[in-house]
Amino acid sequence: MDARLVPPAVAAWVGALVALGLGWGPGVLLAALALVAAALGGRRLLAARGSGGEAPRWAAGLLASGICAAAVGGLASTAVHQVAGHPLRAAAVAGSAATLEVILTDDPTPLLSTGPAGGARVVVRGELIAAQAAGARWRGDGRVVLLAPAQGWAGLLPGQRATASGTLGASTRPDLTVAVLRTRGPPREVGPPPGVQLAAGDLRAGLRDASRAVLADEPGALLPGLVVGDTSRIGPDLDRDFRTAGLTHLLAVSGANVAFVLGAVLLLARLGRLGPRTAAVLAVLALVGFVVLARPSPSVLRAGAMGSVAILALALGRTRSVLPALAATVIVLLLVDPALAVDAGFALSVLATGALVLLAPVVVTALRRRGVPPGVAEALAVPLAAHVATAPVVAGLSGQVSLVAVLANLLAAPVVAPATVLGVLAAVLAPWWTAGAHAAVWVAGPEVSWLVWVAHRCAAVPGATLTWPGGLTGGLLLAGLVLLGLVALRWRRLRLIALAVVVGLLLVLVPTRVAPVGWPPPNWAVVMCDVGQGDAIVLATGEPGRAVLLDAGPDGSAVDGCLSRLGVRSFALVVLSHLHADHVDGLAGALRGRPAAAVALGPVHEPFGALAQVTGRARAAGAPIVGLDPGVTLRWPGLALDVLGPVHPSPHVDADDGTEVNDTSVVLRATTPLGRVLLPGDAERSSQESLLASGVDLRADVLKVPHHGSRSSLPAFVTAAHARLALVSVGRGNSYGHPNPAMMGLLAGTGALVRRTDQAGDLALVPGAGGGRNGGGITVVARGDPRPDPKRR
């Protein structure tokens, strides 16, 4: 394998990174040093040529590396200097109001919500055309990012013009973004999309419609995401489970998608006994068609370039040319856009393509030696190699490592390629032959259903993820471990040592992370599930396997795992205290395989988008929606629920005002074998004042601390419970600063024992003494292994 262009590609990448990360000054300095190095290499080459001798290998490499580093580093430094002096930059630093006219450069992407469900927002990237800010107006270029409501913006296509007004903010990312605009309104003066984008939209819509018509909800939503990166219909539960299982790379258009499509074309060409050049022409046509289908945005164009490098070189029979072609592609792309050096998608594409070129053939050879059929060996090797190569970048970005990712990718590998090819076929047929598109989707159905099952099952494994250092340090640490592992696999003795280490880790991890001793404790009455930054509380009834669930948290896989560990098989009732995402987004996971007698809501049904989501999921599970009003009492064997609030629900609630929605929380008092439990949801000061003024009896043995222990509670309300035990459901590492230290101090001052899910994981309450830590007649048992909060909510 010819690796001579690899050092120049790495040098070019480093040159861009220095300029973008450290500033244009260090970037210029590095470019100058690179020119000196190039001159030394060139001088050595000229000397060798003049003397008739053979130049050392390092000379040519030094010359090429110096030129590439100087060229890319110089371009990046110039761009950084231009961004620093851009007239919009000063207005952004000052937080000025502005109106921007932009051309979209990529599809709007969903922004993980930290507020009400239904209040979805998107990230819109564009190129500046004109701007008006700080009393001045000018025309010019520059990259801008818009944080906008999904309504009105989510359907825009790359190439469309739009105008938006809002508040400017400075960009903190080193990607040549001039400013960030936060807007709350829909786009104005929207221009028509380019013709190629319209064609792509028609093809993608045909695939979505065919998938929706033939497949169930989750498989039907997954197929467009798998084929062309269209994740618009993928729900939060499936998305989170894909992330936990290490399968999220399947939901983005990458070089692997291109390789699958071009590989199918080349296979047909080989079956038709066509020559290499004819096969290459057909592959180029297929590549252009796929880029149109997936939309020719920058990310798709990069994926097309990466995927075509390997497959076309292999088609022409020049396997030695694959690595040089990949390195040359990296250099050219960095020259065109130096900001790619800090783009995670670009790094993932390069690493995945490199794995396809370097690692996958080794894996294929090893599998064939062990009797794996040729076609199956390639299907297993490609995604496995891509996962191993990209794992360090994913770990650095997410701050966690999926312990089930290798297994999940091995299980998913055999069906990814056929599902992708069938999905592309369905998209192409949809505008012309609906029945044919439906047939292709029907054939792809078992494959995507299998992927959904793999994601859900692997994500539900207790301890599926391991907290890992984030950023560059974590990425480099895992990269070193991956390299050590790959080296170890080459020698038998090292393989035996590695196997012993893995077995030892499993002996430690399985008892403590997968099957902790004593969990669940017998006779538990209440369990606060650790679902990150959200609420999910399970109340036992006198019927084994049947419980009442209060809220479902933000993550379906988290609440599903908690309920599975507890052995909950059905619900006497599911109560959703209010319609914020951190209380309702996990509903589908909670209802997965567990029938519910009903799903209960309070008297206020805002935000409306969240209500529609909850209604749809309840209907899909066959559970009716019922209402709860103050004064109602519900009884089951061993459990009674009194509805205490909201006392004065407002008929007019601003769905975008988090406090107003929090004050609509259903407030419950549960009577259990361990005593009274006060469950106020996220009720804040207004709702708490009404409860105090009503004279209702708030005394309880256990207090679920309102709103994740935030400072929005009244001290009089918290102390009115006279609770011996206070539970705080809060996500580790959340960005809100929950729980509030002053609130924790107030609770400690009352003499209550305070336990938190971010410190102890799932918390089970057992009546009476015996085991665990006693909270005044109540035994508190902590499962441990608190969940890392993936959203940093």
pLDDT, tens digit (0-9, with 9 covering 90-100), for 150-194: 888 888 888 889 999 989 888 877 788 888 999 988 899 888 888
**CA distance linking residue 463 with residue 469, whole number of Å:** 17
DSSP per-residue codes, 662-723: HTT--EEEEEETTEEEEE-TT--HHHHHHHHHHT-----SEEE-GGGG-TTS-HHHHHHT--
Q: Which residues contact 70 (CB under 8 A, 6 or more apart)?
A: 15, 31, 32, 34, 35, 38
SS3 786: coil
Between 517 and 563, where is the model more confident? 563
Range of lowest pLDDT (106-115, 172-181, 353-362, 639-648): 106-115
**HSE, side-chain direction, 13 A CA sphere, residue 279:** 24
- Residue pair 772/755 in contact by the 8 Å Cβ criterion: no
Q: Across the strands, what pairs with 626?
A: 600
- Label the pairing between strands 97-104 and 161-169: antiparallel
Query: Nearest to residue 127, comparing CAs of 107, 146, 144?
Result: 144
Position 791 pLDDT exceeds 60: no
> Vertex 176, ends 170 and 181: CA angle to 5°?
35
| Residue entry with tokens 């990607």 | 175
Q: What is the pLDDT of residues 492-543, one digit of tens each?
A: 666 666 666 655 655 555 444 444 556 889 899 999 999 988 999 999 998 8
- Written as six digits, the tokens of 332 are 């050219």
Q: How far is residue 21 from each of residues 27, 80, 176, 284, 740, measured CA to CA in Å?
A: 9, 10, 10, 36, 35
How much is the pLDDT for 577? 94
More confident residue, 459 or 581: 581
Residue with tokens 């559970």: 623
What average pLDDT score do residues 469-487 get? 77
pLDDT at 96 exceeding the cut of 90: no
User: In the structure, what pLDDT confidence band is assigned to residue 773 with cuts at 50, 70 and 90?
Assistant: very low
Nearby residues of 331 by Cβ (< 8 Å), 6 or more positions away: 5, 8, 9, 12, 68, 72
Backbone angles phi, psi at 792, to 5 degrees: 50, 45
d(CA 485, CA 490): 9
How far is residue 581 from each of residues 555, 565, 670, 686, 737, measured CA to CA in Å? 9, 23, 24, 21, 18
What DSSP character marks residue 320?
G
Contacts of 610 (CB under 8 A, 6+ apart): 116, 117, 118, 579, 580, 581, 584
3-state secondary structure of 779: strand
Residue 109 and residue 121 in contact, taking contact as beta carbons nearer than 8 Å: no
pTM of the model: 0.66
Q: Give CB contacts under 8 A, 24+ apart, made by 283-290.
A: 283/308, 283/311, 283/312, 283/315, 284/308, 284/312, 286/261, 286/262, 287/258, 287/261, 287/262, 289/428, 290/257, 290/258, 290/261, 290/424
What is the per-residue burial (b if ≥16 Cβ within 10 Å, else e) of 238-261? bbbbbbbbbbbbbbbbbbbbbbbb
Determine contact, residues 536/551, Cβ cutoff 8 Å: yes
Q: What is the pLDDT of residues 34-86, one digit of tens each?
A: 999 888 888 888 887 777 667 677 888 888 899 999 999 999 999 999 888 88
* Phi, psi values for residue 722, rounded to 5°: 50, 40
What's the rounded Cα separation, in Å, for the pair 683 and 402? 35
Q: Which residues pair with 110 in a beta bridge?
A: 122
pLDDT grade, residue 116 (50/70/90)? very low
In this structure, of 252-261, 424-433, 757-766, the range with the lowest mean pLDDT score is 252-261
Angle separating helix axes 57-84 and 24-51, nearest 10 degrees = 160
In contact, 540 and 570? CB cutoff 8 Å: no
Query: What does the pLDDT read at residue 715?
Result: 92
Please count the other Cβ atoms lying within 10 Å of the Cβ belonging to residue 305. Answer: 21
pLDDT classification of 267: cutoffs 50, 70, 90: confident
pLDDT band, residue 361 (cuts 50/70/90):
confident
Write the CA distances from 149 to 239, 482, 546, integer angstroms: 20, 41, 40
Contacts of 706 (CB under 8 A, 6+ apart): 665, 680, 681, 682, 683, 684, 688, 712, 713, 717, 718
Let me know if 195 is exposed, middle or buried by CB neighbors in 10 A (0-12, 13-18, 19+). Answer: exposed
Q: Distance between CA atoms of 334 and 338, rounded to whole angstroms? A: 5
Q: Which two tokens stand for residue 311?
A: 């497959």
Task: Give the mean model confidence (pLDDT) for residues 216-223.
Answer: 88
Angle (CA) 135 122 293, round 5°: 115
Backbone angles phi and psi of 782, in degrees to 5: -100, 130
Q: Is the pLDDT of residue 551 over 60?
A: yes
For residues 244 and 238, give the distance between their C-alpha atoms in angstroms, rounded to a whole number: 10
pLDDT at 206 over 50: yes
How far is residue 50's CA from residue 677's CA, in Å, rounded to a whole number?
90
What lies within 8 Å, CB to CB, of 301 at 6+ separation is: 291
Q: Highest mean pLDDT: which of 107-121, 176-190, 268-282, 405-419?
A: 176-190
Taking only the tens place, the pLDDT of each residue in 306-332 is 666 655 555 555 556 677 877 888 898
Round the average pLDDT of the chain to a whole number and report it. Answer: 83
The Cα–Cα gap between 367 and 373 comes to 8
**Length of the chain measured in residues:** 793
Q: How far is CA 83 from CA 69, 528, 639, in A?
A: 21, 49, 63
Q: Where are the beta strands (DSSP E) in 279-402?
A: 400-402
